[in-house]
């Protein structure tokens, strides 16, 4: 590490700027990504640096945005397309699911779709039910898609650069409340490998697997549990598909107990997928059932008090660890 501190937002912008400068085939398009710099300022300055041919504002039509991206990728470009909120990706699912994810397979590997889809997700901003969802599980269902979810500025830059260089469609899911978080980001060119988890904290009593912003809550909870003599091993998957089960399995063989934390809903959320894979691969290493921490099965409320009750919080993580240790 260089000691240089950037925000998550700055890391995203820098990743795109470096890749656009490195490869003239890379361009960005989406709603308000140009002069406005994006709804979350996550493309600020790119329009001034690269101009309207490389940073394109689009109509308010997710289907057009992703469809054009698929077409550009098929003809040799390496587009980055932004879906402002993951809640709206349903408008583009045909292009994502039936085109981007399937073309390479259906053409026997002779066609490539080097498409990067960036989108923002998550609750906690009072954006209400239509702008606060965690729909990553939808995307992990689809063979042919790679899905990554960085939790730190370092990973936001490194995973995005890996996505842009990949010859397959990659969905990069960024949490809205992480854009202002700061962390070390080297000036040197680097990549974070797709499909490799990070062990954020080592421990011997419980394996905790947490995604995106939930890693921040999990780290805080782990620090408090350490004061009780409970050592948590915290794993950040970083890539949801393919999931790094090797790192997870090694940890579970050591701790024998697991808590999974994800912001998606309890029913059908990504915590279920992780738990299922653990049962398939690590069943005989478990001394207790897997405990999940997830959002309640209700639309995300606008009211801040209700919103905070619906999404996972540190108190829920602490309770889950105590539960799994008592099993």
273 Cα distance to chain centroid: 15
Residue position matching structure tokens 């790094």? 244
Q: Spot the catalytic one: 19, 31, 82, 131.
A: 131
2 Cα distance to chain centroid: 24
Two tokens, residue 168: 């397959």
Distance CA 322, CA 42 (A): 39
Distance CA 148, CA 243 (A): 9
Q: Does the active-site annotation cover 62? A: yes
The strand pair at 146-148 and 232-236 is best described as unpaired
CA distances from 259 to 210, 300, 309, 318, 322 (A): 8, 23, 19, 10, 10
Cis, peptide link before residue 269, omega less than 30° from 0: no
Kindly tell me the burial class for residue 201, based on how many C-beta atoms sit within 10 Å of its own C-beta (0-12, 13-18, 19 or more). Answer: middle
Q: Strand pairing partners for 201?
A: 234
Q: Decide: helix, strand or coil at residue 305.
A: helix
Two tokens, residue 194: 């797709």
Q: Does the active-site annotation cover 296? A: no
HSE (side-chain half, CA atoms, 13 Å) at 11: 31
Q: Spot the catalytic one: 14, 31, 62, 174.
A: 62
Catalytic residues: 62, 131
């Amino acid at each position: 590490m260089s000691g240089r501190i950037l925000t998550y937002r700055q890391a995203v912008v820098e990743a795109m700027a470096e890749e656009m400068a490195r490869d003239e085939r890379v361009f960005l398009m989406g709603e308000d990504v140009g002069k406005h710099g994006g709804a979350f300022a996550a493309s600020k300055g790119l329009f001034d640096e690269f101009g309207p041919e490389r940073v394109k504002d689009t109509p308010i039509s997710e289907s057009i945005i992703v469809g054009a991206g698929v077409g550009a990728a098929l003809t040799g470009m390496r587009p980055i397309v932004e879906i402002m909120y993951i809640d709206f990706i349903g408008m583009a699912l045909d292009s994502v699911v039936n085109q981007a994810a399937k073309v390479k397979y259906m053409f026997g590997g002779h066609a490539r779709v080097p498409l990067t889809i960036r989108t923002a997700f998550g609750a906690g901003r009072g954006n209400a039910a239509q702008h606060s969802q965690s729909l990553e599980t939808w995307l992990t269902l689809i063979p042919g898609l790679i899905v990554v979810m960085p939790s730190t500025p370092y990973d936001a830059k490194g995973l995005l650069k890996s996505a842009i260089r990949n010859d397959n469609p990659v969905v990069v899911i960024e949490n809205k409340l992480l854009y202002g978080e700061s962390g070390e980001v080297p000036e040197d060119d680097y990549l974070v490998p797709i499909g490799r988890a990070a062990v954020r904290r080592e421990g011997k009593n419980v394996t905790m697997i947490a995604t995106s912003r939930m890693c921040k809550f999990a780290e805080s909870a782990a620090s408090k549990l350490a004061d009780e003599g409970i050592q948590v091993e915290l794993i950040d998957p970083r890539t949801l598909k393919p999931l790094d089960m090797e790192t997870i399995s090694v940890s579970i063989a050591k701790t024998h107990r697991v808590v999974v934390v994800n912001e998606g809903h309890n029913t059908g959320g990504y915590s279920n997928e992780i738990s299922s894979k653990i049962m398939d691969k690590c069943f005989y290493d478990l001394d207790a059932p897997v405990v999940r921490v997830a959002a309640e099965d209700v639309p995300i409320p606008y009211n801040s008090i209700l919103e905070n009750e619906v999404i996972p919080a540190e108190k829920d993580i602490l309770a889950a660890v105590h539960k799994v240790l008592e099993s």
